[in-house]
């Protein structure tokens, strides 16, 4: 169908007819390269109609010729004197041009118009590939291709995906089908998807992937599995992507035959060293280990009375001779510690600042609770200046409506990256901590928990592809705006026509605020269904641990709602710089979006908006639902402009989103009323069902649950 479509398009172009709207299934992501028309076609033909490359066998050449051939509707020749000149900074054809290419590093590149030719020069072959994808992006979005003076160097060195994929192909918190890693058939069968995965990631600058779940299975470290991993690494290497693995801390016991995994035991350290040697013999550019230790039941150094630093350093020593790194997660909380869960990572890790080896990064989640629809930035950022901290974002939407809610996550990530930690002084943003510039760290990294699976769309929905895209773009350059990224993505994914792109942007940009409004407004958090986190369950109580219930987080009583984290409460505010701590400590100076995160507030208390808290809650639920309704109307208006298949699925998902937004509001309101006994503010409709009804709904097979 796809090939036929292209053929048809070329034919129609040849006879001068308008190009029809194609049936599409989303597999091509933002790398569609459908035939251009009119002035854009003419411009691309003139400026980029042929390729000249020092190494014609390079993947950069293959990608450029593939992309341009799609855009021009014909095969683009590769020949000396071609219009686009490709090379690395060291190629004689490039050095002969005498340009200043210093400081590009391996991943940087320049794109220059030189006379009627266009130069793409990379700091290495990977940089060149990134440059080629940049040029293709410009051509695909029909940007001007003359007078180009692009120079790009990524702000963060390691731009990594974290797959929470189990070896049986179940994806924890995955809403896009099964794992794309077909372990059973590897290493002999390499699904063509692996290469397409590498292409897609390289096109947005992602250069690392952790293949398996942080809730790890030690089997991945056995020889047969390492051979499978090596086969994947071979596919990814030409695209500049390194593989990493999660290491189960108890592996020496489980697959190594040792009696224990105590990091202080030289036999344990020796086992890891040998394992590292084995891995690097198979995968010379292996990136390193990601570790979830002593968290949610995972084994770790504390099982033996050792610290996180002891555990991380032992692994770091094993990898150091090979240049590998350790990404040690700070997502720790214990129910033996009765302290506020939001405080525990800080309490545990800040005293360890300065104790980690040079090749260890501490991977800190956004945020201190767990990827909620909105959290204040994690207080660890800025509080461990001697340790490189990396950001962990969640691309998969565990707490944000799974794959059916249209939520564009870049605004949420930007909000956190741009947050000022005020440590040690104003202007010390989270982004500057993460990119290493604030404290002069050599290592810098960002992780995104992938939303990728076996679904034809890769991400479970067409719009969830935008979150994968935005993650890559922000990991490359956290200075980009959410809007600019959305614009690029929409133009590549649905075509550059502003009559399509503008309405799509008007749906994407307010979508994050909308989901916060209809799920967890004003700083509420963790009110989702037990285990699977699907749907509203603010009534949730009991079970194995208090901090897995909703009542722990909202603390609603007859007189008020919200978690008192002030100095009169748990004191979590004091984990922030004094400027923030003082602000968060008072209702008046707390940003309204975080009010109930930090304060227990009376239902009838008037807020700055002029409404009481109760009325504000109702107002925000309504606002969220209205935004979704307006997104649906906008999409209706795109019928016939966007291909039917993608239009249909998106329309259906938007209707699910609207239904579920209403459900969130109704179930939450029914529950809050059962606690506060208040009448609804004027004009607000009562929930159509009883609280008992909402409570009775159960979803035993909701996707992505950790079990
Ligand atoms: C991989 C949350 C999720 C778990 C996840 C955990 C983590 O608790 O619900 O599925 O486990 O975070 O990030 O380790």
pLDDT tens-digit profile of 416-438? Answer: 999 999 999 999 999 999 999 99
Question: DSSP characters for 270-284?
Answer: HHHHHHHHHHHHH-T
* Pocket residue to mutate for ligand 1, from 162, 166, 173, 397, most atoms within 8 A of Cβ: 173
Q: How far is the CA of 345 from the centre of ligand 1 (A)?
A: 14
Q: Decide if 600 contacts 560 (C-beta within 8 A).
A: yes
Query: What is the rounded average pLDDT of the residues 546-554?
Result: 95
**What residues pair up with 171 in beta bridges, in sequence order?**
165
Ligand 1 neighbours (beta carbon < 6 A): 164, 172-173, 214-215, 292, 296, 331, 370, 706
Q: How many residues does the chain have?
A: 707
Q: Higher model confidence: residue 237 or residue 55? A: 237
For helices 511-519 and 644-676, give the axis angle rounded to 10 degrees. 30
Q: Is 350 exposed, middle or buried (0-12, 13-18, 19+ CB in 10 A)?
A: middle
> Which residue is catalytic, options 28, 45, 152, 370?
370
Say what percent of the chain tops pLDDT 70.
Answer: 96
Which ligand 1 atom minimizes the distance to the CA of 173? 10
CB contact set of 410 (below 8 Å; sequence gap of 6+): 466, 467, 470, 474, 482, 485, 486
What are 119-168's pLDDT values in tens digits? 999 999 999 999 999 999 999 999 999 999 999 999 999 999 999 999 99
Report which protein residue has its CA nearest ligand 1's atom 13.
331
Q: What is the pLDDT of residues 601-655, one digit of tens each?
A: 999 999 999 999 999 999 999 999 999 999 999 999 999 999 999 999 999 999 9
Give the helix, strand, coil percentages of the chain, each rounded to 5: 40, 10, 45
Instruction: Give, using CA atoms, the residue closest to atom 11 of ligand 1.
Output: 215
CA of 349 to the centre of ligand 1 (A): 19
Nearest to 624 by CA among 532, 706, 701, 517: 517
Output phi, psi for 569, to 5 deg: -105, -125
pLDDT at 3 over 70: no
| Catalytic site includes residue 296 | yes
Residue 17 predicted with pLDDT over 60: no
Rounded distance from Cα 164 to ligand 1 centre (Å): 9
Q: What is the mean pLDDT of the chain?
A: 96
Mutate to test the pocket of ligand 1, among 327, 394, 706 (most ligand atoms within 8 A of CB): 706
Residue 704 CA, closest ligand 1 atom number: 10
**Active site includes 497?**
no
Q: Which of 375, 398, 420, 455 is catalytic?
A: 398
pLDDT confidence of residue 164: 98
pLDDT at 336: 77
3-state secondary structure of 107: coil
> Cα(150)–Cα(147) distance, rounded to whole angstroms?
10
- Centre of ligand 1 to C-alpha 594, Å, is 23
Structure tokens at 616: 């504000």
How many Cβ atoms are within 10 Å of 267's Cβ, its own excluded?
Answer: 12
Angle between the N-to-C axes of helices 644-676 and 613-636, in degrees from 0 to 180, rounded to the nearest 10? 170
Across residues 163-185, what is the average pLDDT? 98
pLDDT band at 338 (very low <50, low <70, confident <90, very high): confident
Residue 56's pLDDT band (cuts 50, 70, 90): confident
**Regarding beta strands 445-449 and 389-394, do their DSSP bridges make them parallel or antiparallel, or are they unpaired?**
parallel
CA nearest neighbour of 667 among 689, 636, 642: 689
Query: What's the per-residue H, E or C state across 108-122?
Result: CEEEEEECCEEEEEE
pTM of this structure: 0.96
173 CA distance to ligand 1 middle (Å): 8
């Amino acid at each position: 169908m796809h090939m036929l479509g292209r053929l048809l398009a070329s034919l129609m172009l040849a006879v001068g007819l308008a190009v029809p709207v194609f049936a599409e299934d989303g597999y091509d992501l933002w790398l569609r390269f459908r035939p251009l028309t009119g002035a854009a076609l003419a411009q691309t033909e003139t400026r980029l109609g042929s390729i000249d490359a020092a190494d014609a066998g390079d993947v950069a050449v293959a990608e450029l010729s593939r992309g341009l051939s799609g855009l021009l509707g014909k095969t683009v020749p590769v020949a000396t004197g071609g219009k686009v000149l490709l090379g690395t900074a060291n190629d004689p054809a490039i050095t002969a041009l005498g340009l200043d290419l210093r400081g590009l590093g391996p991943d940087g590149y320049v794109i220059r118009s030189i006379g009627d030719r266009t130069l793409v020069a990379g700091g290495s072959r990977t940089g060149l590939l990134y440059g080629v994808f940049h040029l293709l992006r410009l051509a695909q979005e029909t940007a001007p291709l003359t007078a180009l003076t692009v120079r790009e160097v990524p702000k963060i060195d390691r731009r990594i995906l974290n797959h929470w994929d189990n070896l049986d192909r179940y994806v924890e918190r995955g809403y896009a089908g099964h794992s794309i890693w077909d372990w059973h058939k590897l290493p002999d069968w390499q699904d063509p998807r692996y290469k397409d995965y590498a292409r897609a990631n390289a096109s947005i600058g992602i250069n690392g992937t952790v293949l398996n779940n942080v809730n790890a299975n030690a089997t991945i470290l056995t020889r047969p599995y390492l051979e499978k991993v090596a086969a994947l690494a071979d596919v990814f290497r030409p695209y500049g992507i390194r593989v990493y693995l999660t290491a189960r801390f108890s592996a020496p016991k489980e697959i190594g035959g040792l009696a224990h995994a105590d990091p202080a035991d030289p036999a344990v350290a020796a086992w890891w060293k040998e394992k590292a040697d084995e891995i690097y013999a198979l995968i010379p550019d292996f990136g390193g280990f990601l570790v979830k230790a002593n968290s949610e039941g995972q084994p770790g150094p504390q099982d033996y009375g050792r610290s996180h630093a002891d555990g991380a350093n032992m692994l770091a020593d094993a990898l150091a001779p090979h240049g590998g790194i350790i990404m040690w997660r700070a997502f720790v909380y214990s129910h033996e510690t009765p302290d506020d869960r939001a405080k525990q990572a800080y309490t545990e890790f800040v005293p360890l600042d300065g104790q980690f080896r040079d090749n260890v990064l501490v991977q800190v989640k956004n945020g201190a609770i767990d990827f909620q629809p909105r959290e204040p930035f994690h207080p660890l950022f800025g509080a461990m200046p001697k340790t490189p901290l990396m950001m962990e974002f969640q691309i998969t939407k565990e707490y944000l409506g799974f794959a059916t809610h249209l939520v564009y996550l870049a605004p949420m990530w930007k909000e956190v990256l741009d947050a000022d930690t005020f440590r040690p002084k104003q202007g010390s943003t989270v982004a500057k901590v993460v990119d290493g510039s604030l404290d002069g760290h050599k290592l810098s990294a960002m992780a995104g928990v992938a939303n990728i699976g076996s679904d034809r769309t890769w991400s479970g929905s067409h719009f969830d592809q935008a979150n994968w895209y935005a993650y890559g773009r922000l990991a490359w350059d956290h200075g980009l705006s959410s809007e600019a990224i959305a614009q690029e993505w929409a133009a590549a994914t649905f075509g550059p026509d502003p009559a399509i792109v503008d309405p799509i942007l008007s749906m994407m940009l307010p979508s994050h605020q909308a989901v916060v409004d209809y799920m967890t407004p004003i700083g509420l958090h963790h009110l989702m269904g037990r285990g699977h986190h699907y749907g509203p369950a603010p009534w949730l109580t009991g079970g194995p641990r208090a901090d897995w219930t909703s009542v722990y987080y909202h603390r609603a009583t007859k007189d008020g709602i919200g978690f008192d984290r002030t100095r009169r409460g748990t004191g979590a505010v004091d984990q922030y710089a004094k400027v923030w701590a003082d602000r968060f400590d008072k209702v008046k100076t707390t940003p309204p979006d975080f009010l109930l995160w930090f304060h227990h507030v009376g239902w009838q208390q008037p807020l700055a908006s002029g409404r009481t808290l109760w009325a504000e809650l109702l107002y925000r639920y309504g606002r969220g639902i209205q935004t979704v309704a307006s997104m649906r109307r906008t999409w209706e208006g795109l019928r016939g402009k966007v291909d039917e298949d993608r239009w249909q699925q998106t329309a259906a998902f938007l209707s699910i989103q609207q239904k579920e937004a209403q459900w969130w509001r109704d179930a939450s309101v029914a529950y809050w009323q059962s606690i506060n006994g208040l009448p609804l503010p004027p004009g607000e409709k009562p929930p159509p069902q009883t609280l008992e009804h909402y409570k009775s709904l159960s979803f035993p097979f909701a996707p992505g649950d950790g079990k």
